[in-house]
Structure 1
Amino acid sequence: MRNASPSTNVPLQLRDAVAAALALEPAIFGRAGAVDAAAAYPAADIAGLSGAGLLGACLPAAFGGVGLGHGAESADVLREVLRTIGRASLTVGRLYEGHVNALRLARHSPAALALLADEIAAGRISGVWNAERGEGLRAERIAGGWRLTGHKIHCSGSGAVRRPLVTARIGEQGPLMMLPEVGGERVDLSVWRAAGMRGTATGTVDFTGLVVPDAAVIGEPGDYYRSPGFSGGAWRVLAVQLGGLDRIMALHVERLGVRGGGDPVMRARLARAGAAHEAARLSVREAGRRAEGEGEPAAIDAYVDLARGGFEELALACIEATRRNVGLGSFIAPDPLDRALRDLETYLRQPFLDASRDNAAGWLLGHGGCFA
Structure 2
Amino acid sequence: MAPAVFARAGEVDAAAAFPAADIAALADAGLLTAPLPTALGGDGLASDAAQVDGLAALLTVVGDASLTVGRLYEGHCNAVLLADRYGGPLATLAAEAAAGRISGVWNAERGDGPLATRVAGGWRLTGRKIHCSGAGSLARPLVTARPEGSDAPLMFLPDMRGPGIAVDLAVWQAAGMRGTATGTVVFDGAFVADADTFGAPGDYYRAPLFAGGAWRVLAVQLGGLGRILALHAAALGRSGRGGDPVVRQRFAVAAGGYEQARLLVAEAARRATDPAADPPAAVAYVDLARGSFEALALAGIDAARRNVGLGAFLGPDPLDRCCRDLETYLRQPMLDASRDNAAAWLLPRGGRFEP
Q: Give 1:199's aligned residue.
A: 179
Supply the RMSD in Å over aligned alpha carbons: 1.2
Is the 2:82–2:88 contact (alpha carbons within 8 Å) kept by the matching residues of 1?
Answer: no
Q: Which residue of structure 2 lines up, in the alignment, with residue 58 of structure 1?
A: 35
Contact 2:68 2:178 (8 Å CA) reproduced: yes
Please name the residue that 1:252 is paired with.
232
- Mapped pair 1:37 → 2:14: yes
- 2:56 paired with 1:79: yes
Aligned residues of 1:71 and 1:293 also touching (Cα < 8 A): no
1:151 aligns to what SS in structure 2? strand
Deviations 1:12-61 (A, max 9, x none): xxxxxxxxxxxx11000000010001111110000010111100101001
Query: What are the residue-to-residue correspondences of 1:277-316 with 2, within 5 Å?
Result: 277-294=258-275, 295-316=277-298
Distance 1:366 1:212 in 2: 46
- What SS class does the counterpart of residue 118 from structure 2 fall into? strand
Q: How far apart, CA to CA, are the structure 2 residues paired with 1:46 and 1:234?
A: 22
**Letter of the 1:230 counterpart:** F
3-state SS, counterpart of residue 337 of structure 1: helix
Q: Does 1:115 align with 2:95?
A: no
* Partner in structure 2 of residue 329 of structure 1: 311
Cα shift at 1:109: 4.7
1:182 lines up with 2:160 in the alignment: yes
Deviations 1:41-87 (A, max 9, x none): 11000001011110010100111111013233211100110000000
Displacement of 1:366 after TM fit?
2.9
In the alignment, does 2:348 pair up with 1:366? yes
Give how far 1:110 is off.
Answer: 5.0
What displacement does 1:134 show?
Answer: 2.1
State the 1:169 CA deviation. Answer: 1.1
Instruction: Write the distance in 1 (CA, Å) between the matches of 2:87 and 2:273.
Output: 21
Deviations 1:187-234 (A, max 9, x none): 110000000000000000111110111111111110000000000100
Which whole-Å CA distance do the structure 2 matches of 1:177 and 1:73 have between them?
26
Whether the aligned pair in 2 keeps the contact of 1:167 and 1:176 (CA below 8 Å) is yes
The match for 1:143 is 120
2:46 and 2:80 in contact (8 A); partners too: no
Residues of 2 paired with 1:135 and 1:349: CA distance?
A: 22
CA distance in 2, matches of 1:63, 1:290: 27
Q: Paired residue for 1:163? A: 140
Q: Is the 8 A contact 1:69 1:77 kept in 2?
A: no
Matched, 1:345 2:352: no
Alignment of 1:122-133 (within 5 A): 122-133=99-110
TM-score, L = length of structure 1: 0.92
1:233 alignment counterpart: 213
Q: In the alignment, does 2:197 pair up with 1:217? A: yes
Q: Distance in 1 between matches of 2:274 and 2:113?
A: 34
How many residues are paired up? 349
Runs of 4+ in 1 over 4 A off after TM superposition: none
Name which of structure 1's ranges 212-221 and 68-77 shifts more when overlaid on structure 2.
Answer: 68-77
1:263 corresponds, among 244, 247, 250, to 244
Deviations 1:282-337 (A, max 9, x none): 00011011111120111110000000010000000111111100110001011100
| Residue range with higher mean Cα deviation, 166-175 or 322-331 | 166-175
Code of the aligned partner of 2:102: I
Is it true that 1:355 corresponds to 2:342 in the alignment? no
TM-score computed with the length of structure 2 as normaliser: 0.96
User: How many Å separate the matches in 2 of 1:135 and 1:322?
Assistant: 41
Stretches of structure 2 that go unaligned for 5 or more consecutive residues are: none
- Measure, in 2, the Cα distance between the counterparts of 1:216 and 1:316: 40
Structure 1: distance between partners of 2:243 and 2:337? 40
Kindly provide the CA deviation profile for residues 233-258 of structure 1, in whole angstroms up to 9, marking residues without a partner as x: 00000000000001000000001112
Q: Does 1:105 align with 2:82?
A: yes
1:96 aligned residue: 73
